[in-house]
Structure 1
Amino acid sequence: MTITLITGGNKGLGYETARRLIEIGHKVYIGARNEELGKKAADELGAKFVLLDVTEDASVSDAVAQIVKSEGRLDVLINNAGISGPYTKPEDVTADEIRQVYETNVFGIVRVTNAFLPLLRKSDAPVIVNVTSGLGSFGMVTNPETMESKVNSLTYTSSKSAVTMLTVQYAKGLPDIRINAADPGATATDLNGHAGHQTVQEGTDAIVSLATIGKDGPTGTIIDRKGTLPW
């Protein structure tokens, strides 16, 4: 059985990804920083819950210890936890605002990925999926025909550009692990006030696709549900 951990898995894209992976036979651990909401989601889905705040070293270490004790390995890590932050005008953005978003969206991926590497390396076919966004794609935001080009959010968009580059650099440095990034697209979730035009099932297509690749699958790529995303 494939052992999968999804950070920020108690709602939205994380919740739907968990549902779909459980449906095809994965044993899923939902990581959430809110114990009540995390346990409720896990119970609804038939998943396991692990208390996990990606911004806290001690919380991440405790989550690793729990999965070491219960499973002894991890096959798939989905770095899904993310926040949008305030949509402040570029001239009004503060370093503290950027730091807060990066703490979850960027540093959280580094913190969780590095902590779980020993468990991933006990898998026969370890996989990491980083949830990014077309809003962080230079190709998308500079194309006037895309929705992404109409958004001017210095903090969130730059954090997702960083996620994509982290993905590429991890893939280059860790060739024994398949590491890719998924862009859900404009999906209706709490993150965007349910403003997206896609359903959560459509939004998780790319995530599920990358979470289920084999040991000969791609690495260092970024896709959405339609295919390769321009970088």
Structure 2
Amino acid sequence: MSNTTANTSPTVYVVTGANRGIGLAIAATLAEREHALVFAAVRDPAKADALKALAKETGRIELLQYESPSEDSAKALAQAIEEKAGKVDVVISNAGTQTDYEPITTVASHHLTTSFNVNVVGPVTLFQAVLPLLRKSAAPQFVGISSIAASNTIAVPFATDSYIISKAALNSAVKRVHTFHAEQDNIAAYTLHPGAVITDMATAWMDYAPELKFPPEMIVSVEDSANAIVRLVEGATREKTGGRFWNAVDGTELPW
């Protein structure tokens, strides 16, 4: 996806949830690319101090307000990008939430609803809004940041079932994008597990359930995770990457 000449138009990225954690690190990594233009979507740009500083430093980041799963917000985001760039090459749908730490036997319905709205409805409405802009790219990608916990094959002992169920649904949604838009619109649509990254969300979970802490050898820094994600994205194609679920850290395919 990288450009090689100064006369080439920029590679246009959209990264949601870019104010902290993996999203911020992905935006920072992409902004190191000379021909990148990164639209960093955040809920409240006024409070995204680190991102604003990065945008000023690199000159390759545009902050945009985006509230997942608002359909109107997604449409406004797409309109702003169209006015400034005219196309989108890569969407990295990273914005997500984890609301609780309850198993399937006790999780409250409002946690299930909130998780599904943010982690599934949000990416779907975002895809719908930016599809016309993806169609203007020579090699468009739609990437969902998922979790290995969402695999229906790999059983993980995490009692965060509203999150896990919603991420499994995200996998399904992105697979549907592949099914209907891989050949028709040349879109490489796939999901990624970012690794065992110690973000604010992961720290809160481990504080709640210390017996389930990741062993040290599994832990990946936010920066290493972002570098791995960007490396995979830059090498991705519709044929070899699309319609699949990947471990970004080691590049292996995960079972749905």
| Same-fold call, TM cutoff 0.5 | yes
- Equivalent residues in 2 for 1:39-118, closer than 5 Å: 40-45=50-55, 46=58, 47-118=61-132
Structure 2 residue corresponding to 1:157, chosen from 164, 169, 189: 164
Aligned-partner Cα distance in 1 for 2:224–2:154: 19
Structure 1 residue corresponding to 2:139, chosen from 120, 125, 130: 125
The offset of 1:124, in angstroms, is 1.0
The offset of 1:62, in angstroms, is 1.2
The offset of 1:229, in angstroms, is 1.2
Give the total of aligned pairs: 224
Match in the other structure for 2:246: 223
Aligned-partner Cα distance in 2 for 1:23–1:83: 27
**Equivalent residues of 1:7, 1:78 under 8 A apart:** yes
What is the DSSP-based 3-state SS (H/G/I as helix, E as strand, rest coil) of the residue aligned with 1:128? Answer: strand
The offset of 1:94, in angstroms, is 1.9
Q: Which shows bigger deviation, 42-51 or 122-131?
A: 42-51
Structure 1 residue corresponding to 2:223, chosen from 182, 196, 201: 201
**Equivalent residues of 2:29, 2:227 under 8 A apart:** no
**Equivalent residues of 1:8, 1:82 under 8 A apart:** yes
What is the DSSP-based 3-state SS (H/G/I as helix, E as strand, rest coil) of the residue aligned with 1:6? Answer: strand
**Equivalent residues of 1:35, 1:51 under 8 A apart:** yes
1:36 has 2:36 as partner = no
What is the DSSP-based 3-state SS (H/G/I as helix, E as strand, rest coil) of the residue aligned with 2:48? Answer: helix
Query: Which segments of 5 or more consecutive residues in structure 1 lack a partner in the other structure?
Result: 142-148
Aligned-partner Cα distance in 2 for 1:131–1:230: 15
The offset of 1:102, in angstroms, is 0.9
The offset of 1:92, in angstroms, is 2.2
- Equivalent residues in 2 for 1:8-27, closer than 5 Å: 8-25=17-34, 26-27=36-37
What is the DSSP-based 3-state SS (H/G/I as helix, E as strand, rest coil) of the residue aligned with 2:39? Answer: strand
Aligned-partner Cα distance in 2 for 1:39–1:49: 11
The offset of 1:202, in angstroms, is 2.7
- Mark the structure with the bigger radius of gyration: 2
**Equivalent residues of 1:183, 1:206 under 8 A apart:** no
RMSD: 1.8
The offset of 1:216, in angstroms, is 5.4
Aligned-partner Cα distance in 2 for 1:58–1:75: 22
What is the DSSP-based 3-state SS (H/G/I as helix, E as strand, rest coil) of the residue aligned with 1:49? Answer: strand
| Structure 2 counterpart of 1:220, one-letter code | G
Structure 2 residue corresponding to 1:140, chosen from 145, 154, 157: 154
User: In 2 relative to 1, CA 124–134 (structure 1 residues): closer, same or farther, beyond 3 Å?
Assistant: same
**Equivalent residues of 1:182, 1:210 under 8 A apart:** no
Structure 2 residue corresponding to 1:190, chosen from 175, 182, 200: 200
The offset of 1:188, in angstroms, is 0.7
**Equivalent residues of 1:31, 1:51 under 8 A apart:** yes
Q: Sequence identity, in percent?
A: 26
| Structure 2 counterpart of 1:20, one-letter code | T
Aligned-partner Cα distance in 1 for 2:142–2:52: 21
The offset of 1:125, in angstroms, is 0.9
Aligned-partner Cα distance in 2 for 1:14–1:188: 13
> C-alpha deviations, 1:36-70, integer Å up to 9, x for none?
13364143243110101122122111111111111
> C-alpha deviations, 1:3-44, integer Å up to 9, x for none?
000000111101111111111232111100112133641432
TM-score by length of 2: 0.82
**Equivalent residues of 1:31, 1:38 under 8 A apart:** no
